[in-house]
Amino acid sequence: MKEKLEEIASKAKEEMEKIQNLQELQDLKIKLLGKKSELSNMLKGLGELSAEERPKVGNMVNQVRKEIEESMAKAEEKMKAASLNQKLEKEKIDITMPSTKIKRGSKHPINRVIEDIQDLFVSMGYDVVDGPELETDEFCFERLNLPAGHPARDMQDSFYITNEYLLRTQTSAVQARTMLANTEKSPIRMVCTGKTYRREDDATHSHQFNQVEGLVIDKKELNVSLADLKGTLEVFVKKMIGANSELRFRPSYFPFTEPSYEVDVTCFKCGGKGCPLCKKTGWIEVLGAGMVHPNVLEMNGYDPNEYAGFAFGTGIDRLAMFRYGITDMRYLYTNDVKFLSQFDRKDEE
């Protein structure tokens, strides 16, 4: 019995030395210690031995089993450490290698202009306000002195959703909202930028575009005159388009302002000499503006005898085109990365 155990132990030792990997170790474990192993069979056969011999042999079998188990555990640990080392060696990172390039996004030219407009007006004490794109007929037209059937509604082909709701055709809708929301009827200085929609069906217009609206209301005896409007727009245009821009006010008509003006700026391309872009006039129309119509003040809770105001509005997409010399509006909406990524550089110039 003793010889047999010694033989098992020495055979086990031999086989252990041949082991190459963890799988082989696992297989050997089953062979030497599993249910069908010689050691297990010996334990099963203990019952046939005399009461005297049984504990002795039992002890010896367990001793051999323990030795095999211990040396296997050691071998396993060694192999695991070796394979970890191998893995670490293989996955070593060379921190001196150049890294892979991460593509950086850049701000869209329209958003650049929007942020600059907001910054400029905030620096002049204006609030930046917001309004809904799904607007009611009441705020988009009625409260701006454009009742149903008013011919000026034809200038703005609208996307009506129901009889009452439409996609706003102009950010001017926010004028009425701001006046009405201001229950104290205190002075107002606001700008609002945002998306506007019109049912345009020619190739040079987009059905969706961006506008900025400005509104100033204060006590009549304070400075809310045409001169203030002119000064404000001069600062605005020079900052947005170019410091050399000149402004020209042309009488025009908007239902919500009286008097109303269209404001032209010297052509940024030819500097006013005349070129194909400005149709040889030297001027490009940029803004609509005027003094807030007394009806608009009254309809939105401001007494026109006590208060006066000016308002202005313009398309942001066109401003971006002027500023960056973009010749085709479609570039602004096709999101070509090559096109969009040049504006970081342009703004640094």
Cβ contact 269:301 at 8 Å = no
Q: Between 272 and 313, whose beta carbon lies closer to ligand DAH?
A: 313
Stretches 87-95, 216-224, 243-251, 286-294: which one binds ligand DAH (CB under 6 A)?
A: 286-294
Q: How far apart are CA 201 and CA 281, in angstroms?
A: 27
The only residue of 109, 272, 290, 309 in contact with ligand DAH, by rule CB under 6 A = 290
CB of 314 to ligand DAH, least distance (A): 7
Amino acid identity, position 227: A
Residue 170 engages ligand DAH in binding (rule: CB under 6 A): yes
**Beta strand 208-219 pairing with 247-254:** unpaired
Smallest CA-to-CA distance from 266 within 278, 252, 276 is with: 278
Residue 192 engages ligand DAH in binding (rule: CB under 6 A): no
Q: What is the DSSP letter of 100?
A: P
CB of 315 to ligand DAH, least distance (A): 8
Stretches 81-89, 125-133, 146-154, 308-316: which one binds ligand DAH (CB under 6 A)?
A: 308-316
Q: How far apart are CA 173 and CA 160, in angstroms?
A: 15
Cα separation values, 234 from 13, 213, 230, 262, Å: 96, 15, 6, 13
Residue 312 engages ligand DAH in binding (rule: CB under 6 A): yes
Q: How far apart are CA 112 and CA 77, in angstroms?
A: 61
CB of 318 to ligand DAH, least distance (A): 12
CB of 244 to ligand DAH, least distance (A): 25
Restricted to residues 248-277, the positions that interact with ligand DAH (CB under 6 A) are 254, 257
Stretches 65-73, 103-111, 287-295, 298-306: which one binds ligand DAH (CB under 6 A)?
A: 287-295
Restricted to residues 5-34, the positions that interact with ligand DAH (CB under 6 A) are none
CB of 347 to ligand DAH, least distance (A): 27
The only residue of 179, 311, 319, 320 in contact with ligand DAH, by rule CB under 6 A = 311
The only residue of 289, 297, 320, 332 in contact with ligand DAH, by rule CB under 6 A = 289
Q: Per residue in 148-182, is it b (16+ CB within 10 Å) or e — as a string?
A: eeeeebeebebeeeeeeebbbbbbbbbbbbbbeeb
CB of 171 to ligand DAH, least distance (A): 7
Smallest CA-to-CA distance from 5 within 34, 55, 43, 50 is with: 43
Residue 172 engages ligand DAH in binding (rule: CB under 6 A): yes
Residue 131 engages ligand DAH in binding (rule: CB under 6 A): no
Token couple for 277: 């872009």
Q: Between 172 and 245, whose beta carbon lies closer to ligand DAH?
A: 172
Restricted to residues 193-252, the positions that interact with ligand DAH (CB under 6 A) are 213
Token couple for 313: 């509005």
Cα separation values, 9 from 40, 42, 68, Å: 14, 13, 7
> How big is the chain, counted in residues?
349
Residue 319 engages ligand DAH in binding (rule: CB under 6 A): no
The only residue of 307, 313, 319, 323 in contact with ligand DAH, by rule CB under 6 A = 313
Residue 145 engages ligand DAH in binding (rule: CB under 6 A): no
Q: How far apart are CA 130 and CA 69, in angstroms?
A: 76
Strand partners, 134: 167
The site for ligand DAH (CB under 6 A) is made up of: 170, 172, 213, 254, 257, 288-290, 311-313
